[in-house]
Amino acid sequence: MPTGTAEQRLVGLADLVVEAARKKRDPEIEIPVRALSNVAFNPKKRIIEMKDATQARSLFNLGMARKFMQTMLVADALAVLQREKLTTSLREIYYRTKHTLRDSTENTFDAQDESDPIIEDIEVALAALREELQVAAEGRGSIVGNVVLVDDGDAIDCTRAGKSGHTVPSIVEEPGIRIRKCAADFVLLVEKATQFNRLSEDKFWKRHNCVLVTGNGQPPRGVRRLCRRIHDEWKKPVYVLVDNDPWGYYIYSVVKQGSINLAFESQRMAIPDAKFIGLSSYDPEKHKLPRNVGIRLTDKDVSRAKEILAYPWFQKKEWQREIRNMLASGLKFELDALANKDFRYLTTDYLPRKLKERDWLD
């Protein structure tokens, strides 16, 4: 596994190519395969890990020459960021590395969907997160509650962040972001901004001494990493609140075990101790929600649920029972459906009862 600073690892990548050229060999780099076939669930660590399969990307292989060139262009741009101590976006990397090859009409990149996967390839090849390489995505998350962050030297007291909360940046690593204090009892990671806004407006975080975080859907890497840091550095439990559907189960799975596509980052992103606090397929009956606020499962929902049933990390009998019960009901329920009881039912009844009864899935 490559060692040293991010800049040293990038330079090492270039050195491999230079050395091959000096020896008149075909320059090539080894890229770990990012596919389901190259990941495995580690039951001891309770995370998804990448296995050892790699693919050689070489210059003189006609089928790989373009990707080899793209990889070296992106690596060079990333090295410039390290030397100049700058941060940039995925979009700017695309434009920085895009040009037309001399004496041709061929572009190095035709669209950003070509350059983004190259960055992921470099991440896994160098064992360095994109954020360590100084590449940021758009901030897509909010945090409010009893935690103080230090952002580039400025203290951010998240109890004073207003109803909308403080925006979670894409890069949440030290030294840029430090967690100065966390006096909360737990972290509540909420799937939807709608429920985050309700909980924040009702000061749920104050009444139950917690930190509220949302990623507005599938939580982006910055949100997942910040929750992991609070969990690790301040020993705070993390609860995940999502819709009762296969996609909610999957979001929880990514938070807890890691992503199949980005298994190389599970060691620092996944939170194996995270708990699923709802919405459970048994909650509509417990909380007397009428069936007419449920949504009929589509064929796609059923297919996805059956896939999830087969995942090794969902083999616990409690999870098999949970997912099969949803399939048997033929319905899925959004968290928004709790408003059928009362607009504040989520904050005044549902979550307090869940916490009191320790009604969650692991």
pLDDT 10s digits, 307-316: 999 998 899 9
CA 289, 291, 295, 297 dihedral sign is positive
Q: Note the pLDDT of residue 347.
A: 95
Q: How confident is the model at residue 2 (pLDDT cuts 50, 70, 90)?
A: low
pLDDT per residue as tens digits for the range 10-25: 998 889 889 998 998 9
With a cut of 80, say whether residue 261 has pLDDT above it. no
Count of helix runs (H) and strand runs (E) in the chain: 14, 17
Q: What is the fold, at CATH topology level, of the domain defined by 6-26+61-136?
A: Arc Repressor Mutant, subunit A (1.10.10)
pLDDT per residue as tens digits for the range 155-188: 999 999 988 999 998 889 888 899 999 999 999 9
What proportion of the chain, given as a percentage, has pLDDT over 70? 99
> Is residue 74 within 8 Å of 81, Cβ to Cβ?
no
Alpha carbons 310 and 185: distance in angstroms, whole number? 34
Architecture of the domain defined by 142-357? 3-Layer(aba) Sandwich (3.40)
For residues 190-211, average pLDDT: 95
Q: Within 143-234, where are the H helices?
A: 193-201, 204-207, 221-234
Mean pLDDT of all residues in the chain?
92
> Is residue 273 within 8 Å of 136, Cβ to Cβ?
no
Catalytic residue among 95, 282, 311, 345: 95
Q: Note the pLDDT of residue 128.
A: 85
Alpha carbons 179 and 189: distance in angstroms, whole number? 17
Q: How confident is the model at residue 1 (pLDDT cuts 50, 70, 90)?
A: low
pLDDT per residue as tens digits for the range 49-104: 989 898 889 988 888 899 999 999 999 999 999 999 899 999 999 999 999 988 88
> Is residue 192 within 8 Å of 217, Cβ to Cβ?
yes
Q: Note the pLDDT of residue 238.
A: 98
Q: Note the pLDDT of residue 262.
A: 77
**Domain-by-domain residue ranges, the chain?**
6-26+61-136, 142-357
Whole-model pTM over 0.85? yes
Question: Is residue 239 annotated as a catalytic residue, yes or no?
Answer: no
Alpha carbons 88 and 137: distance in angstroms, whole number? 9
